[in-house]
Chains A and B, each alone.
Chain A
Amino acid sequence: MERKKTYIEDIDRGIYDIKNDFTYRYKTDKGLTEDIIMEISREKNEPEWMRDFRLKSLEIYNNKPIPTWGADLSGLDIDNIITYIRPDTDMKHSWDDVPEDIKITFELLGIPQAERESLAGVGAQYDSEVVYHNIKQELIDQGIIYTDMETALKEYEDVVKEYFMKLIPPNDHKFAALHGAVWSGGSFVYVPEGVQVDIPLQSYFRLNAPGAGQFEHTLIIVEKGAKLHFIEGCSAPMYRVNNLHAGCVELFVKENATLRYSTIENWSKNMYNLNTKRAVVDKNGTIEWISGSFGSKVSMLYPMSILRGEGARSEFTGITFAAEGQHLDTGTKVVHAAPHTTSTVNSKSLSKDGGYAFYRGLLRVAENAYGCKSTVSCESLMLDNISKSDTLPIIELNNDNIDIGHEAKIGRISDEAIFYLMSRGISEEEAKAMIVRGFVEPITKELPLEYAVELNNLINIELEGTIG
């Protein structure tokens, strides 16, 4: 029998690849030295403790080895990465005040439109600094704070000091240390006790400069009984030199609070995306991760949930789409550190054209975390036989009163399913597209509408050749 090969088109990067001229008000030299750190800190006019924090992080960075597991990082030459670039503007609260070229970029990415239609607040970062931040007045009236990290550090210094890099300390790994040394930009969100925000906030991170790094820090605190949906989008145009993204996301979900954190990452294929995300969840709180990884040359991204309060819950829904030249090493970590905590993990991956999708996961149940439940499901779809897909979930159980289930599947699109759809008059191409869309549907239905539509448009299938 003749077996057809499925070809899924590359993600259309049209709008993402629009480059602006590389203009800036200030940038550091390439590489990393104490002087550069001092300069960044001075440029930002930071309190002394933050400058010291940066210097200490640099020291840790210098002493930590590059991780040898996971993706190949040998192409990353940190000495040639510009760590700080201040765009030629200050932060604005109205799009009209944002410089034209930057504004056009964000308009093409649909950010101001989304803000008008479906968001409660928007932050936009361009290279190292946030250029726009705005939040609806009614949210301000409810006591919600949504601003860039630099402003937060000035206006809520005590809060920042209490939480900043407490969940992801600089000695966690080399890139956390790097982040601690050169972090810049990012969003700060504070939702007071009992306040429930039904419309999402969104921060968008755009790296325009070639050969640069983006190190934004996102810190979100959702107080008792409060609720928030936060969306993070990232993209960059394609350059021939490598870029680096080593952001940190620290999420504090208090008692009975709920936080949904959605990410659509569509970096260009010259990007090393070494991002660290972590949430700590108190009693009966909930963290929900929605994670879409489409871009970058190399990603190592494992959002982690620490369920430290009794009855805390985490849900992870992730999709990874690895195409030519991409090694996307993604997954999630869940630590059950308190009794009666529950977690679910639902991961899907697609690989094609030599892309490499790797699911790496950790599920740890502590000695005292009795009565825990967890289900993990990983499914991988291989779209050709030059691609690669691996699944490595680590499960560590340290007490007996638990209920743990894990399953993983790997394979290609079922010929029988294609035949079934074709027998109803649907063409082979469309049948395959439907099956792939169905495969990712559990993820797309969790995405904000405009992203879901975009993702479905990405899956345009055509046939290419035949294999024996």
Chain B
Amino acid sequence: MEKYLLNINDLKVTIEDKEILKGLNLQIKEGETHVIMGPNGSGKSTLAYTLMGHPSYEITQGGIQFDGEIINEMKADERARKGIFLSFQYPEEIPGITVEEFLRTSKTSITGEMQKIIPFRRLLKTKMEHLGMDESYASRYLNLGFSGGEKKKNEILQMSILEPKLAILDETDSGLDVDAIKIVAESVMKIKDEKCSILVITHYNKLLEYLEPDYVHILMDGKIVKTGGVELANQIDEIGYENIKAEFSNI
């Protein structure tokens, strides 16, 4: 049997008693890049939150295996320490906590090693430069007053500092202009080179031009209905989800 980094098996998830994911299967190997596309309400963000362990999402059936271990019951912080990272579609604003302070605490927790102030600051500065972020953001309150694009960049900054095994990018390209997408894509490529697996959740394919995904999956009504290569994403770009939907309702 092949070894998967992430193995999702017949996953059913409900929120407030409403079933959103209705038997989803997905396998990702180390270093692979997968894309999940789907119309609004198909369950894309639910999948992202469920993988990260949001307490409002209840798994009613199936399981998530990550790095050889079933993680259904794990809390978000344990999952993060195991190497899962979620780039949030709408990152929270947290007043009073600076980006630097937050990330240093986070890095300490994930690596289990105390991060010394000076070397950490150096690392942060380098990563921020890569992303074209102004240094001053390090001492600003976490996401507070950041524009949509700045928040997304800040998510990617966190990803590149925390060096996960699996990075889930939930609509990371939305709210970014063309230049910013390119910069973000470069950062994602960099961690991909470190054998990180990537799961991109999106409903357009702006980011895909740079990322060269191995697989593209179409998610509809809580299930993956079609899997293919990049050509599938292009197809959707041309014909839209409606036709795909029609294709499946005919079956």
Residues of chain B with a CB closer than 8 A to A422's CB: 53, 75-77, 80
Contact A440 B96 (CB under 8 A): yes
The reply on B54 being an interface residue by CB < 8 A is yes
A47 CB within 8 Å of chain B:
no
Write the A435-446 contact mask toward B (1 if CB under 8 angstroms, else 0).
101111110000
Kindly provide the distance from the CB of A80 to the nearest chain B CB, expressed in whole angstroms.
Answer: 43
Cβ A420 vs Cβ B88 within 8 A: yes
- Asked if B91 is at the interface (CB within 8 A of a chain A CB), the reply is yes
Q: A434-B102, A438-B97 are in contact. Are A425 and B91 (CB under 8 A)?
A: no
Distance in angstroms from A317 CB to nearest chain B CB is 13
Which residues, 385 to 443 on A, are CB-close (under 8 Å) to B? 414-417, 419-428, 430-431, 434-435, 437-442
Q: How far is the CB of A12 from chain B (nearest CB, A)?
A: 22
B94 touches A (CB below 8 Å): yes
Q: CB of A48 within 8 A of chain B?
A: no
Contact A424 B162 (CB under 8 A): yes
Point out the residues of chain B lying under 8 angstroms from A423, CB to CB.
52-53, 76-77, 79-80, 85-86, 88
Whether A421 pairs with B102 at a CB distance below 8 angstroms is: yes
Interface contact A424-B106, CB-CB below 8 Å: yes
CB distance from A267 to the nearest CB of B (A): 26
Q: Which residues from 60 to 106 on chain B have a C-beta closer than 8 Å to any C-beta of chain A?
A: 75-77, 79-81, 85-86, 88, 91-92, 94-97, 102-103, 105-106
Q: How far is the CA of A463 from the CA of B79 in the complex (A)?
A: 20
Q: Are B80 and A425 interface neighbours, CB within 8 A?
A: yes
Chain B residue numbers with a CB within 8 Å of A426 are: 77, 80, 105-106, 109
Please report the C-alpha to C-alpha distance between residue A417 and residue B162 in the assembled complex, in whole angstroms.
19
Tell me how far the C-beta of A437 lies from the nearest C-beta in chain B, rounded to whole angstroms: 6
A2 at the interface (CB under 8 A from B): yes
B110 within 8 A of A: yes
Query: Is the pair B55, A427 in contact by a Cβ cutoff of 8 Å?
Result: no
Q: Is the CB of A415 within 8 A of B55?
A: yes
Q: CB-CB < 8 A to A434: which residues of B?
A: 94, 97, 102, 105
How many residues from B make CB contacts under 8 Å with A?
31
**CB-CB < 8 A to B162: which residues of A?**
424-425
CB-CB under 8 A from A414, the residues of chain B are 92
Contact in complex: B94, A435 (CB < 8 Å): yes
A467 located at the interface, meaning its Cβ lies under 8 Å from any Cβ of chain B in the complex: no
For the complex, is B56 an interface residue (Cβ under 8 Å from A)?
yes
Q: Tell me, yes or no, whether B50 is within 8 Å of chain A by CB.
A: no
B55 touches A425 (CB 8 A): no
Is A140 close to B, CB under 8 A?
A: no
Q: Which residues of B contact A435 (CB under 8 A)?
A: 94, 96-97
Q: A416-B92, A422-B77 are contacts. A430–B55 as well, Cβ < 8 Å?
A: no
Closest chain-B Cβ to A455's Cβ sits at a distance in Å of: 12
Given A423-B52, A425-B77, answer yes or no on A438-B106 (Cβ-Cβ < 8 Å): no
B91 with A420: CB separation less than 8 A: yes
For A425, what are the chain B residues with a Cβ–Cβ distance below 8 Å? 77, 80-81, 106, 109-110, 162
| A440 proximity list for chain B (CB < 8 A) | 96
Cross-chain contact B55 with A439 (CB below 8 angstroms): no
Chain A residues with Cβ under 8 A from B55's Cβ?
1-2, 415, 419
Cβ distance A46 to chain B, nearest Cβ, rounded Å:
48
Residue in chain A with minimal CB distance to B84: A423
B141, CB-defined interface residue at 8 Å: yes
Interface of B is mostly: mixed
Q: A419-B55, A437-B97 are in contact. Are A424 and B158 (CB under 8 A)?
A: yes
Flag if B94 contacts A437 (CB, 8 Å): no
Question: Given known contacts A1-B56, A430-B105, A434-B105, is B94 in contact with A421 (CB within 8 Å)?
Answer: yes
A2–B73 Cα gap in the complex (Å)? 13
- Measured CB to CB, the closest approach of chain A to B166, in angstroms, equals 13
Cα(A428)–Cα(B77), bound, Å: 8
A424 to B91, CA, bound (A): 12
User: B106's closest neighbor in chain A, by CB?
Assistant: A424
The residue in B53, B77, B85, B142 that gathers the most chain A C-beta atoms within 10 A of its C-beta is B77
Q: Which residues of A contact B75 (CB under 8 A)?
A: 422, 428
Are A438 and B158 in contact, CB atoms less than 8 angstroms apart? no
Q: Which residue of A lies closest to B55 (CB)?
A: A1
The interface residues of chain A lying within 8 Å CB-to-CB of B95 are 438-439, 441-442
Check if B96 sits within 8 Å of A438, measured CB to CB: yes
CB distance from A441 to the nearest CB of B (A): 3
In whole angstroms, what is the CA distance A423 to B96 when docked? Answer: 19
Shortest distance from the beta carbon of B58 to any chain A beta carbon, whole Å: 8
Bound-complex Cα distance A426 to B75 (A): 10
User: Shortest beta-carbon distance, B38 to chain A, in Å?
Assistant: 22
> In the complex, what residues of A have CB within 8 A of residue B86's CB?
423
Known A423-B86, A424-B162; contact A439-B96, beta-carbon cutoff 8 A: yes
Inter-subunit contact B96/A430 (CB<8 Å)? no
Is there contact, CB below 8 Å, between B109 and A438? no
Complex formed: what's the CA distance from A368 to B105 in Å?
52
Chain A residue nearest in CB terms to B164: A425
The residue among B53, B76, B106, B141 with the most chain A CB atoms within 10 A of its own CB is B76
Cβ contact within 8 Å between B94 and A417: yes
User: Considering the chains assembled together, what is the distance between the CA atoms of A423 and B81 in angstroms?
Assistant: 9
Question: What residues on B are CB-neighbors of A416 within 8 Å?
Answer: 92
CA distance A442 to B141 in the complex (A): 11
Nearest B residue (CB) for A4: B55
Cβ distance B51 to chain A, nearest Cβ, rounded Å:
10
Could you say which residues of chain A place their CB within 8 Å of the CB of B79? 423
Residues of A within 8 A of B94 (CB): 417, 420-421, 434-435, 438
Interface set, chain A 1-54, CB cutoff 8 A to B: 1-2
Of the listed residues B53, B58, B85, B109, the one surrounded by the most CB atoms of chain A closer than 10 A to its CB is: B109
Shortest 10 CB-CB contacts between residues of A and residues of B: A438-B96, A441-B96, A425-B80, A422-B76, A425-B110, A424-B106, A420-B92, A438-B97, A425-B109, A422-B77
- Supply 16 further A-B pairs (C-beta < 8 A) apart from A424-B103, A437-B97: A415-B55, A416-B92, A422-B80, A423-B76, A423-B85, A424-B102, A424-B106, A425-B77, A425-B162, A426-B77, A426-B105, A430-B105, A435-B94, A435-B97, A439-B95, A441-B95
| B contact set with A: CB distance below 8 Å | 52-56, 58, 75-77, 79-81, 85-86, 88, 91-92, 94-97, 102-103, 105-106, 109-110, 141-142, 158, 162
Query: What are 22 A-to-B residue pairs whose CB atoms are below 8 Å?
Result: A417-B94, A420-B88, A420-B92, A420-B94, A421-B94, A421-B106, A422-B53, A423-B52, A423-B53, A423-B85, A424-B80, A424-B103, A424-B106, A424-B110, A425-B80, A425-B109, A425-B162, A430-B109, A434-B97, A435-B94, A438-B94, A442-B96
